[in-house]
Structure 1
Amino acid sequence: MGTLASLKMDLSYILTPFIAWLVAGCLKFLVNSLRARRLAFNLIGYGGLPSNHSAIVCSMVTLIALKEGIQHPAFGVAVTLAFIVMLDASSLRKQVGKQAAAINKLSQPFDDGQSRLRERMGHTRIEILAGAITGAGVASLIVALQMGIV
């Protein structure tokens, strides 16, 4: 049995992915608003730069690498999960978006006021890379803050 001090949990493993998601979401809103030249609340959601999903998983990959080392089994699990998520973001979800566009085009003549399917689902490689960099940056900053470097 350990003491209460040894049971102390490192909250960075819970907070880092949330903070990465928040930072990526704010950056995406800013980028979309600049591109649209207005507050782009209607563009919040799937797709866009940076990828929230990539930011979340890459923040955990980076956090584990920096705190536990790349030899730790959790690092391998995190890399595997990140790989699956980023592949999904670039391929499967992009195909879903293409299907939504085709369905919307087919239903256009019969439009009876129903909402259209969201077509922007996937990410480009640049959006995924931007998400990965965002997540890695957030995790690096959190580790630096914990170590007193920043």
Structure 2
Amino acid sequence: MEEMAGAASGSSIHNTDSSSSSGSFIFANYPLIAALVAFAIAQTTKLFTFWYKQRRWDFKQLVGSGGMPSSHSATVAALAMAIGFQEGFGGSLFATALIFACVVMYDATGVRLQAGRQAEVLNQIVYELPAEHPLAESRPLRELLGHTPPQVIAGGLLGIVTAIVGHLITMTSTQS
């Protein structure tokens, strides 16, 4: 009953102390930093995995989608874990972030992967068209859109590890 009265009077029931303790400065936002660091590590790793496979540097890997590991998975996994560490794993905010992460990872291996495979087939069909066909000069479709399950798993694990390391750094810096 007191909670309803407090809500009616305009006071907040939800404790937002965790965000105010680190300040409102955007660079002090642990979940945001964890997600961005995981994304950067994943994209940089793609550059090296491409070099390892092809023995040539392709700096487009730093901004492209697809490849090992999945930067989308790394980003959302780090975000969900960091929110869990900061807000608690039993709260609705963590639940929302976890469902969001699962949807993104499922989409990466499902819809986006299949769209990439369709693009491969369509590009081959267009390539085999006679030169006089109106679609023969069509620009090729992007084929590397989705991820294989190992790429998504690797990205998810990278995100989790990034959030854990960030949490440990945050904990040791606040104890000092």
Check whether TM > 0.5.
Answer: yes
Q: Which residue of 1 aligns with 2:94?
A: 75
Is 1:12 the counterpart of 2:27 in the alignment?
no
Q: Which residue of 2 aligns with 1:123?
A: 147
User: CA separation of 1:60/1:6 partners in 2, compared to 1, >3 Å: closer, same or farther?
Assistant: closer
Structure 2 counterparts to residues 42-121 of structure 1, below 5 A: 42-43=60-61, 45-108=64-127, 109=129, 110=131, 111-112=136-137, 114-121=138-145
Partner of 2:8: none
Tell me the distance in 2 between the aligned counterparts of 1:42 and 1:14: 24
Q: Letter of the aligned partner of 2:31 in structure 1? A: Y
Which one-letter code corresponds to 1:13 in the other structure?
A: P
- 8 A Cα contact 2:43 2:61, kept in partner: no
Answer yes or no: is 1:36 the counterpart of 2:54. Answer: yes
- Equivalent residue letter for 2:42: A
Q: Which has the larger radius of gyration?
A: 2
Q: TM-score, normalised by structure 1?
A: 0.87
Distance 1:62 1:6, change over 3 A: closer
Gaps of 5+ in 2: 1-10, 12-19
Cα distance in 1, alignment partners of residues 123 and 21 from structure 2: 56
Q: Residues of 1 paired with 2:60 and 2:167: CA distance?
A: 34
For residue 51 of structure 1, what is the amino acid of its counterpart? S
The percentage of counterpart residues that share the same residue type is: 30
* Matches of 1:138 and 1:145, distance apart in 2: 11
User: Structure 2 length normalisation: TM-score?
Assistant: 0.75
CA displacement, residues 19-57 of structure 1 (integer Å, 9 cap, x when unaligned): 111011011111111111111235552211110000000
CA distance in 2, matches of 1:33, 1:115: 26
- The one-letter amino acid paired with 2:23 is K
